[in-house]
Structure 1
């Protein structure tokens, strides 16, 4: 027996190495397209986050890739989150086109994507925010939905792109927020203005936050005077005559 292994041992090793190499090649051929598609989808998600607009038909062509990501046995938080971001944009676009049957399908797809993301990354603040938005639009606002918004604030208080989307959504239901969430929402707006995102702050202020502007304006004393001056000037240029604390009537470039 010992002589047999001495004679044939190297051959067995070679066979084993070749077999493992073949398995690795097959596995690579099977998984490479998946990872390649995931990389492309993550790139699209980053573009969406940065504000780039995609035509609905372009995003629809990615649905098979999104299905593969969501059904994969591999838990890649960046991939599942990217899929959820794309699903959310598809749902938003479909909702704006007012097609009830199609909207329901996209809402269901988004919910599945969010559950997949949260099972992979339970502390993802974007997914909790998207679940809050989805629940309000799919089944109507309920007080228990606020827990999703609360988790988004607690888990991601300072993520800029999430804050911009979250602030817009939170102000749209401001009257339904409890005092703690209402305070968080106004504080977040102040942080947005503090960081110099003037155009974004004006869009929120003159949009969903406009009806509660009297609650916001007195607290803008927490914002540096230069930021307040620019903010007031942009508002005036857009035709909004608002008294911003500590700012005179002169205009700033």
Structure 2
């Protein structure tokens, strides 16, 4: 009996490998690539198209997987963004049609995905221009992931760009998010948001820093001073040495 069992076990192992390993190989990018997109990592030219082609060619044993559908949506959107930068919005517009549809269908499988809601806001705004109706997508992103720092790095800039159009609750969320970026020592990003799209709202943004760590506040003040920006940050005394190169 043992002599018969060993060949059977060996055959089962081969069968398992031939059916499961291709599935692992296919799903791997669905978990790795979105993580890179989330931190705004760069890809070699053409790499995203190759990854998307792989994701669109499932093995025979494929069963619809939320991670894979999410990856398709994010990779497609990023590829469309890069195509628009290379060829211009007119030539890339047809790509966004399919991407928006994919993001929407993926949200059915992942309704609590904060980053997907942010991407839906971005793609609809890119395609159709700003529309107050689409702010609901941004609101959903905040509702489903209010404290996710890697999402905040992209979302805060987006929210501050339309700050005047947000209701009071959304404005406060974006201010709190800016404060969290400073407190988490994302100083370069917070400084860029403040001096860029958030400059008109600088007094409110800076006032929110009162309860943050003093070291973080000083780090922001130093960064701004080195960039030639003089502002008043709660609890921080300006030092003229910060302006020296």
In the alignment, what sits opposite 2:164? 175
Provide Cα deviations, 1:160-214, integer angstroms capped at 9, x if missing partner.
1111111111111112111111111111111111112212211222222122212
Q: Is the 8 A contact 2:209 2:233 kept in 1?
A: yes
Provide Cα deviations, 1:35-94, integer angstroms capped at 9, x if missing partner.
41320343233223334211332212222124346xx96342332223333223223222
**Are 1:132 and 2:132 matched, yes or no?**
no
Cα offset for 1:100? 2.9
Q: Is the 8 A contact 2:30 2:70 kept in 1?
A: no
**C-alpha separation between the residues in 2 aligned to 1:181 and 1:240?**
27
Alignment CA distance shift 1:165-1:73 (3 Å) = same
| Mapping 1:61-210, distance limit 5 Å | 61-68=50-57, 74-210=63-199
**Are 1:48 and 2:37 matched, yes or no?**
yes
Q: Is the 8 A contact 2:26 2:55 kept in 1?
A: no
**C-alpha separation between the residues in 2 aligned to 1:78 and 1:234?**
39
Provide Cα deviations, 1:80-122, integer angstroms capped at 9, x if missing partner.
2233332232232223335234321331232133123212111
Cα offset for 1:227? 1.1
In the alignment, what sits opposite 1:8? none
When normalised by structure 2's length, the TM-score is 0.82
Moved more, 40-49 or 167-176: 40-49
Cα offset for 1:31? 6.2
Q: Is the 8 A contact 1:45 1:83 kept in 2?
A: no
Alignment coverage as a number of residue pairs: 232
When normalised by structure 1's length, the TM-score is 0.80
Q: Is the 8 A contact 1:75 1:120 kept in 2?
A: no
**C-alpha separation between the residues in 2 aligned to 1:78 and 1:133?**
20
Q: Name stretches of at least 5 consecutive residues in structure 2 with no aligned partner.
A: none
Aligned residue for 1:235, secondary structure, equals helix
**C-alpha separation between the residues in 1 aligned to 2:55 and 2:228?**
43
